[in-house]
Amino acid sequence: MNKRTIFIVGNWKMYKTVEESLTFLHDLLPQLPSLLQDKSLKVGLAVPFTSIQSMAEAAKESMLQIGAQNMHDASSGAFTGEIAARMLKEVGATFVILGHSERRKIFLEDNATIGRKLERALEEGLQPILCIGESLEEREKGNTEKIVAEQLEGALSSLKEEDLSSLVLAYEPIWAIGTGETATPEQAQEVHLFCRNWIRDKYSANLAEQMIIQYGGSVKPGNVADLLRQPDIDGLLIGGGSLEATNFAKVLEQVPSPQIQEQTQEALK
């Protein structure tokens, strides 16, 4: 049985002012206790920097975690326009998304930079969500595993097993992000299993078994249950589908309870 706690994270990207963020919370928070009931489920929202503090304060008594979408790898310094991990922690962020494909592609972040950010986040006690995933062209050439392995190796090369207990991976095939085209549960499961085995080979079975691996790319209420029934999919990273409180609540509603998950996984064997 999959004993990992499911971790669902909304990635708001560059959407929502502080006022809009708080309106969303106002709609979602009253529904959370009943949505999370009987489920082994952790929920987070990666919001714009400007919204972190007020969101974290407003969500303090709830089960909702607030996180960031990026950070710099230095602890401080002359880096105009950048933000450090300890600044994020101070205003209430508990996690940070690193290496999202938009950061890699538009802001030219490479695996080595992402690795340094990862190291800093861990050092400062921010839970990192490391995004990995291939483009359509890479998939069509049969290079998915090669690319994902390079991204893992590049970002994790200097990190030891004892540093990685809080690391979350997010497999996000680039061709599925914001396109409405989701990877099939089987396609996603195949890559998730590959990542878990990669972690097992490089580190240990123990770390591999406890690591949460999220799927991201056009997740919507209609495909949540099928994705999460796969044995190696332990959570979701959701962009567009997390922007409306009603829709995000529907996503949470679709998360199968542990009993149902266990039964399906037994049946899939």
- Which position among 238, 251, 252, 255 is part of the footprint of ligand PGA (CB under 6 A)? 238
Stretch that binds ligand PGA, among 155-163, 185-193, 226-234, 236-244 (CB under 6 A): 236-244
CB of 202 to ligand PGA, least distance (A): 25
- Is 100 in the active site? yes
| CA dist 182 → 217, 243, 263 (Å) | 6, 18, 24
Most distant CA atoms of the chain, gap in Å: 56
Determine, following the binding rule CB under 6 A, whether residue 230 of this chain makes contact with ligand PGA: no
Q: What is the DSSP letter of 203?
A: T
Do the Cβ atoms of 188 and 198 come closer than 8 Å? no
Catalytic residue among 100, 102, 134, 192: 100
Site string for ligand PGA, 4-23 (x = CB under 6 A): -------x------------
- Which position among 44, 67, 173, 217 is part of the footprint of ligand PGA (CB under 6 A)? 217
Determine, following the binding rule CB under 6 A, whether residue 70 of this chain makes contact with ligand PGA: no
Nearer Cβ to ligand PGA, position 58 or 213? Answer: 213
Do the Cβ atoms of 188 and 195 come closer than 8 Å? no
- Is 26 in the active site? no
Q: Residues 6 or more apart from 175 whose CB is under 8 A from it?
A: 134, 135, 136, 139, 181, 217
Neighbours of 49 (CB within 10 A): 15
Determine, following the binding rule CB under 6 A, whether residue 128 of this chain makes contact with ligand PGA: no
- Which position among 87, 114, 118, 219 is part of the footprint of ligand PGA (CB under 6 A)? 219
CA–CA dist 257, 233 (Å, integer): 14
Nearer Cβ to ligand PGA, position 92 or 239? Answer: 239
- Which position among 183, 199, 237, 255 is part of the footprint of ligand PGA (CB under 6 A)? 237
Do the Cβ atoms of 51 and 18 come closer than 8 Å? yes
Do the Cβ atoms of 123 and 84 come closer than 8 Å? no
Determine, following the binding rule CB under 6 A, whether residue 177 of this chain makes contact with ligand PGA: yes
Site string for ligand PGA, 136-165 (x = CB under 6 A): ------------------------------
Neighbours of 142 (CB within 10 A): 8
CB of 107 to ligand PGA, least distance (A): 14
Angle between helices 18-28 and 245-253 (to 10 degrees): 40
- Residue given tokens 């920097």 in the structure block: 49
For binding to ligand PGA (CB under 6 A), which residues are involved? Answer: 11, 172, 177-178, 216-219, 237-241
